[in-house]
Amino acid sequence: MLLFHALLGGLLVVGAEPVGSRALLWREVRVPEAMLGDGPAGPCGGDVRIGDLDGDARVEFVVYRNLAGLKPAFIGAFDLDGEPLWTFGDPARVVTVIEEDGEERRGLEAPERPGPVAVADLDGDGRTEVLALVPAEGVERSHHWGMDGVELVLLDGATGEVKRRAVSEELRAADGYVEGDLLKANYVHLRLMICDLRGSGSPRDFVLKAGKDVFAFTGEFELLWTYECPWNRYPEHCCYIPAVGDVDGDGRDEVNLGNAVIDDNGTPMWERFLGRNNDSVLVEEWDGRPRAICSGYGHVLDERGEPIVRLGPDLVAHGQEIRCADLRADSEGPELAIRYEGHEARVMIVGQGSGVLDRFEVPASPNNTGLEVVRWHGADVPAVLYSPAALVDGHGRLVSDLPALPEASGGNQGWFHCFPADVCGDGREEVVLYDPLAASVFIYTPEPLDEAAYSGYRHTARQYNARLMD
């Protein structure tokens, strides 16, 4: 329990122990007016991605709004000064969206979930691209709960020009239905996870889960394989958002789906129902090797699917979110942080070989998701946890609030989503925050900031495969 805290020389002190550096609002970046749309709480930008789009070693931003909340139909890019770089699509485009009951509505809107856009060097030319799943040109009608009418596009990061586009009929056939039943929770988390399935030595492939189906593509938009999840009915479902990583050490990535890990060639390495509410998954280092980590009942598994850690339903009744990092100096190796009772503000910390180390409450958000690991003090110091909208350490102690951050707009998506990223180029990670239903990006850095230490923004899998769980 926090008894008191005070600022002393930039450190937040709890009792007599310094637990972190105070957050400084380094930059508020307004989404350009021409890229704003109408949201339920006023002008809004929509969902955001980050990356070095033009090769200047500074972070830039991609903002987009969607059809039916899921399919980006307008994309814009702007820089740290809020200056527009380019746009893709027509913000005034009208497409008829067909709902499950046949009702039709029209236009663009803010996202229902963070959607299928990624910023990465997908073609290996040393320059950043923007990958997106969008309604194809000429499409005038689209089902909310289906992929009909979509195409893949690869945009030049600096100019927004289309470098590649393709239609996959297999992907267009995907939807949110299983045996005639619409399973919304299993469908709405559409993410493009960048990976290396072909052993090229760089991440030049990607996977997408749309409902029960998983699709793997090369960066040239060649379909490599598809996989159908055997578990789809809530709460006994596979994960919402896949995780990628090399769990068997063969130089190629595998895909963690929670109740299965799929090899780089599309065949299951193992399939097994692990537990209810297997919402969130990772591939992170545990006991010295990349492991499949799953929120359902709290699992860490080896490449055969054998549990290294199984906490069970008594400890993890509903694993809403799971994260893995070195969070505590008094525990060997990385720890797990698990939001273990669904959409609640309670988090559990689990150590290697030592079981549950702690339970505490983190700052609450409108739907109590958005937990992220932030290397606030650099790579060699225990990380902190962001929970909208404050930072705590692995003991649950407040590291810093986020001064001058406005109230979130509220609702399912109206809270501050977080990208941990070394934006200031000094080896520490900032928190880059945006509310999809608002119109600004906020960047907080730990005090003190030495501007002279800037060595350039570095774009890694922590940014292009951001979890953005909701």
Closest CA to 207 of 271, 133, 290, 135: 133
Q: Using one digit for the tens of pLDDT, what is the confidence trace for 327-347? A: 999 999 899 999 999 999 999
Backbone angles phi, psi at 433, to 5 degrees: -115, 145
Q: What pLDDT does 11 receive? A: 45
Paired tokens of 302: 């080896």
pLDDT-derived band at 17 (thresholds 50, 70, 90) equals very low
pLDDT-derived band at 19 (thresholds 50, 70, 90) equals low
Q: Using one digit for the tens of pLDDT, what is the confidence trace for 189-213? A: 999 999 999 999 999 999 999 999 9
pTM of this structure: 0.94
pLDDT-derived band at 5 (thresholds 50, 70, 90) equals very low
First to last CA, the chain: 27
Which one-letter amino acid corresponds to residue 44? C
Q: Using one digit for the tens of pLDDT, what is the confidence trace for 166-188? A: 999 999 999 999 999 999 999 99
Kindly state the helix (H) or strand (E) to which residue 463 belongs, with its residue range: helix 461-464
Closest CA to 328 of 308, 299, 354, 292: 354
What does the angle CA 143 – CA 97 – CA 70 come to, to the nearest 5 degrees?
A: 70
Which one-letter amino acid corresponds to residue 275? G
Do the Cβ atoms of 434 and 388 come closer than 8 Å?
no
Kindly state the helix (H) or strand (E) to which residue 205 belongs, with its residue range: strand 205-210
Rounded distance, CA 269 to CA 255, Å? 10
Rounded distance, CA 229 to CA 207, Å? 14
Helices (runs of H) and strands (runs of E) counted in the chain: 2, 44
Kindly state the helix (H) or strand (E) to which residue 172 belongs, with its residue range: helix 169-172
